[in-house]
Chains A and B, each alone.
Chain A
Amino acid sequence: MRAGRDVEQLARRWREEDEEAREIRRREADWDFIRAQPPRLRMALELYVELGDLYVASRVAGLTLDEFNELRLKARIPVVI
């Protein structure tokens, strides 16, 4: 396990990366498409925009990973790494 100082630095870097990724997803998403979806899919897409977790969002949508990824592409939400 890394030392405490290293962990803090990593955590800070990860927080910055997560925030940047969230901003990119929010900016590029097709919000008209997202708002036009049935409630369950809309919630899953909004969750994906905030979290960037394809698996969790696919469970909320009730879809497989692949099916949810197709929906993500239609909603123009990028995967950000």
Chain B
Amino acid sequence: MGSAVIDTCFLINWARFSEREKLKLLFDRLFMPEITFSEVRSMVALGLASEWLASRFLVLAPVLPTNEEEVEGILKLVASHPQIPSIDPPELYAFILARRLEVPLLTDNKAPKRVSQLSGGYSVPVLDSLDVLKLISDRGFELRELVAKFMEETGFRFSRSRLEEVGLIG
């Protein structure tokens, strides 16, 4: 077990998932950049955040002074590769925080994962919801059931290539 950084979208998405407490099988603490917390407004996400903050499972991390070279390097990488979606400020904060803490980043946004895949220099383990569901299934749960429930409750779909990656289609 260890820690991870989560971004706003991940919290919002998992707040709707009835099996969200299974995240605690994988991580004993989640960090979220404080500056991105203001994006959380719905009662369902605020309710979950409050519950997790109260139990110290979720911790709001202060904004660290950004290393301008680090930010510039990431933005240059994004600018030079059109297939990387623009990396927005909340993701950038979360990505840099995960890199500094040397822990995985949990996000369903494509940009951090693609930056990490493209450049060894920014290699942060980036896990999306399907990666996390797979890790949970490795603890003795049926992946197909987890994925079906997650899709139904959160309005997610997984691409064919991702489902192939985790062995759900041949």
Contacts and interface: CB of A to CB of B under 8 A. Distances in A.
Chain A interface secondary structure, helix, strand, loop or mixed? helix
Contacts, number: 101
Given A20-B159, A55-B88, A65-B8, A1 B118 contact: yes
Given A79-B108, A81-B129, A13 B90 contact: no
Contacts of B13: 69, 79
8 contacts: A1-B119, A2-B120, A53-B109, A55-B91, A65-B12, A65-B40, A78-B155, A80-B157
A18 interface: yes
Please list the 3 inter-chain residue pairs (A to B) with the smallest Cβ-Cβ separation, ordered nearest first: A55-B88, A65-B39, A14-B83
Interface string A19-49: 0110010001000000000000000000000
B65 interface: no
Interface in A46-70: 51-56, 58, 64-67, 69-70
B161 to A, nearest CB: 6
A17 to B, nearest CB: 5
Contacts of B129: 81
A77 B42 CA distance: 18
